[in-house]
């Protein structure tokens, strides 16, 4: 796919008109029309402004720069690089500070790159190929699935979020994972009065039914591809019983 086609597809996926994008990027609709038709070749600065104005992830901005004939603008530093050591140290502090509640850091494809001690309650005895990926851990029959009381709603929540990400930012690897995960989710029809999936995760653990809420934090101001794709997923108790159970099971680790 060439740059004009890729740009047009990204704009259409975000339901942004040529005029809206042109205004955001500081150009004219006529010029943008010429770029999307291939009649005009944009400069490097224009490509960066267009991709920024569309809110594309840094990885996609680099890909469009390459399609336009320019070098990538955003570095992609390996997680084990010394340059990212301060970032990883800070993230470790955040994970530890969240004890006694589970928290983990995942990349765009769900691979777990960091977790606190309380995350072990989520993983249970799942095999390595399941426990190493948060999405697979959540939905795989050998993962959390048998212990989730509201599995259909929870699973649909996970799959729909990945699908929404794919709609905005197409990616073959993520699409393959989405197809795999969708196979674990039973079909469901929302009941009357359905308001979405703002419901707790109902997890059976240690003979108790826990109610957990989740929050997801991304690093939107990052200028490195690797950091920009990380997400911090933190679990919080949705009731006093769950809070007490987590404190009992993980309180010792939190105090270390």
Which pLDDT score is estimated for 195?
44
Average pLDDT over residues 233-247: 93
Which pLDDT score is estimated for 165?
86
Average pLDDT over residues 38-46: 95
Does 247 lie in the same domain as 125? yes
Place of tokens 């109610």: 211
Query: Can you read off the two tokens belonging to residue 12?
Result: 């259409």
Please check whether residue 180 is in contact with residue 170, taking contact to mean a CB–CB distance below 8 angstroms. Answer: no
Which pLDDT score is estimated for 252?
58
Does 163 lie in the same domain as 87? yes
Which pLDDT score is estimated for 196?
45
Does 152 lie in the same domain as 122? yes
55 found inside a domain: yes
Range of the structural domain that residue 24 is part of = 3-67
Q: What is the pTM of this model?
A: 0.81
Which pLDDT score is estimated for 254?
54
3-state secondary structure of 37: helix
CATH number of the domain enclosing 63: 1.10.260.40
């Amino acid at each position: 796919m060439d740059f004009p086609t890729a740009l047009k597809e990204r704009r259409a996926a975000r339901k942004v008109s040529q005029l809206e994008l042109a205004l955001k990027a500081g150009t004219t609709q006529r010029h943008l029309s010429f770029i999307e038709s291939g009649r005009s070749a944009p400069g490097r600065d224009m490509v960066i402004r267009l991709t920024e104005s569309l809110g594309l992830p840094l990885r996609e901005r680099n890909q469009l720069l390459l399609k336009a004939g320019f070098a990538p603008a955003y570095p992609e530093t390996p997680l084990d690089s010394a340059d990212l050591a301060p970032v990883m140290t800070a993230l470790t502090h955040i994970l530890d500070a969240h004890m006694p509640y589970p928290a983990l850091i995942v990349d765009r494809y769900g691979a777990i790159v960091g977790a606190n001690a309380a995350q072990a309650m989520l993983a249970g005895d799942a095999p390595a190929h399941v426990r190493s990926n948060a999405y697979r851990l959540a939905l795989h029959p050998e993962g959390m699935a048998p212990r989730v009381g509201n599995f259909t709603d929870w699973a649909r929540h996970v799959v729909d979020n990945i699908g929404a990400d794919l709609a905005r930012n197409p990616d073959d690897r993520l699409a393959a994972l989405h197809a795999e995960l969708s196979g674990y989710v039973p079909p469901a029809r929302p009941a009357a009065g359905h308001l979405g999936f703002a419901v707790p995760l109902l997890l059976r653990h240690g003979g108790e039914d826990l109610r957990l809420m989740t929050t997801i934090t991304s690093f939107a101001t990052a200028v490195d591809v690797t950091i920009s794709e990380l997400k911090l997923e933190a679990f919080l108790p949705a009731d006093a019983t769950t809070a007490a159970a987590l404190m009992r099971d993980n309180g010792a680790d939190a105090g270390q």
